[in-house]
Amino acid sequence: MFIVYSYSIAGLLVILATVFLQNIVAAVAHRKQSHYVPGKVSETLSHDSFVFRSHRTFHNSLENIHQFVIPALLCILLGAPTNVLAWLVWIYAAARIIHMTLYYAIATEKNPSPRSYFYMLGVLCTAGVFALAFYALFT
């Protein structure tokens, strides 16, 4: 049964690996500071600090990953259309990787920033997997 979802499962692995990588980047950036308290990011830091941006990138992913991955897994269990799910998963994965890259590279307080567009693309994919799960449930 799951072999037909191999593209979706591979995409979910990429998403999870991306969050794992963000965790490592944030931890290393935090530890490289001359003064740090484990588990705390200074409230004086803002977007001009890579420590702040790497921390926010990781936590933004933590705040959003379950909203995407759980309905995607439900789609697999419910037998949702494989191609649609695979496209949603891979677009989400790409959007989150681009969001991460832009968050690391661009220090801006401006909103919307370039990363905002990729965040919104991820939100649309999340809405898509919810819709697909409901479709699979009721058809």
pLDDT tens-digit profile, the chain (139 residues): 689 999 999 999 999 999 999 999 999 998 887 777 776 777 888 888 899 999 999 999 999 999 999 999 999 999 999 999 999 999 999 999 999 999 999 988 888 899 999 999 999 999 999 999 999 999 9
For residue 72 the two structure tokens come to 């995607």
3-state DSSP call for residue 133? helix
Domain ranges of the chain: 2-138
Which pTM was predicted?
A: 0.94
The answer to whether 119 and 69 have CB atoms below 8 angstroms apart is: no
Q: Which CATH number applies to 2-138?
A: 1.20.120.550
